[in-house]
Amino acid sequence: MRKATQTPIKITFLLFGRFSNLCLANCLEPMRAANGFVPHPAYRWRFATLDGGPVRTSSGLPVLPDAALAEMGAVDRLFVMASYDHLGHDSPATRRALARAGQRAGQVVGLDAGAWLMAGAGLLTDRRATIHWDLAEAFAERFLDVTVEHESHLQDGDRVTCAGAMAAFDMTRAMIRDDLGPAIALDVDGLFLTERPSPQSPSRRGDPLVSRATALMRARLEAPLPQEDLARTLGTTPRTLARRCQAALNLTPGALYRHLRLSAARQLVESSVLPVSEIALRCGYEDPTALTRAFRLRFGASPQTLRRQLNMPKAQ
């Protein structure tokens, strides 16, 4: 797991004409959200095309990149964003450029039809990979040195492939979990409403008891439940709840509750003009000083300092 004091993970998004902007958003937005839950930005990204010129997405949205691919230098992750016209994009020039870029990237990630271009450049030789399922049969026939698997997303060493736009969120969420830990991934889930079951219903992801506990905690931020009451409401024992939280998130129930309360506090700091005293009450802190102390310890700045950095209007 990445340490919060380390430099950001450097990412280049390589865009090909008629790529899916939904695919890009489902990679970019979870990372943008994760940056808001850690003291210092964990991810830094730029956009490139092969020649540095603008491209249009599959829906016609024009995108102006930061630079040509050759100008981007070494990166931790290179995302290859291609959807339509993959046969036209798979040119000798593309293969050469991707092969060179792959040598400067710690990890290469192919989205949608991006795996086709990666394979053409020799970046998937003797690797397992997936691709948009509509292309899977043709992909397997074209690249006999790639083991094609019918998965939503798949990692084989320093190569990652993803089958499409909706799978891109889950893939990025898995990266965030590996980079920053399960608690930050949980924050991202909560922000995008991908993991919000009722306290009575199990979740589709992870330990159902922990998911129900998380939902119950989120529902009771203002008046946090003691651990015994929390366990009783969930129909379990405090010891079982503690064991399952530790196994799933490497956190005690109390630490998980504090994490969720502080994440909610940050969202209110960034998205409202409520005074810190009101935010403290809404997040289960009777004393705003206690919130400020805990907030600074986690995020590296007080709520007031963060608002000044964001140039937000003063609280009313």
Both 70 and 217 in one domain: the answer is no
Per-residue pLDDT tens for 146-186? 999 999 999 999 999 999 998 999 999 999 999 999 999 99
Report the CATH number at residue 259. 1.10.10.60
Both 79 and 162 in one domain: the answer is yes
Residue 184 falls inside a structural domain: no
Say what the pTM is: 0.86
Both 148 and 213 in one domain: the answer is no
Q: Give the contacts of 88 (CB within 8 A, at least 6 positions apart).
A: none
Last residue of a domain, one of 152, 179, 206: 179
Both 149 and 232 in one domain: the answer is no
Report how far apart, in Å, the C-alpha atoms of 240 and of each of 171, 199, 200, 226, 245 are: 30, 17, 17, 15, 9
Residue 79 falls inside a structural domain: yes
Last residue of a domain, one of 144, 179, 214: 179
Both 313 and 277 in one domain: the answer is yes
How many residues in the chain?
316
Residue 154 falls inside a structural domain: yes
Q: What is the mean pLDDT of residues 78-86?
A: 96
Residue 1 falls inside a structural domain: no
Report how far apart, in Å, the C-alpha atoms of 93 and of each of 50, 75, 99 are: 9, 21, 10
Instruction: Tell me whether residue 228 is exposed, middle or buried, using C-beta atoms within 10 angstroms of its C-beta: 0 to 12, 13 to 18, 19 or more.
Output: exposed
**The domain containing residue 252 runs over which residues?**
195-316
Residue 3 falls inside a structural domain: no
- At residue 313 the predicted structure's pLDDT band, cuts being 50, 70 and 90, is low
Would you state the structure tokens that stand for residue 35, as one six-digit string?
């940056």
Per-residue pLDDT tens for 196-241? 443 433 344 579 999 999 999 999 999 999 999 999 999 999 999 9
CA 258 to chain centre: 21
Both 132 and 226 in one domain: the answer is no
Instruction: Tell me whether residue 149 is exposed, middle or buried, using C-beta atoms within 10 angstroms of its C-beta: 0 to 12, 13 to 18, 19 or more.
Output: middle
159: region left, alpha or beta (phi > 0 left; psi from -120 to 50 alpha): beta
Q: How many domains does the chain have?
A: 2
Residue 106 falls inside a structural domain: yes
Both 19 and 44 in one domain: the answer is yes
Report the CATH number at residue 174. 3.40.50.880
Residue 190 falls inside a structural domain: no
- Evaluate whether 119 touches 86 at the Cβ level (below 8 Å): no
Both 156 and 223 in one domain: the answer is no
Last residue of a domain, one of 179, 203, 228: 179
Q: What is the mean pLDDT of residues 4-20?
A: 89
Distance CA 65, CA 47 (A): 5
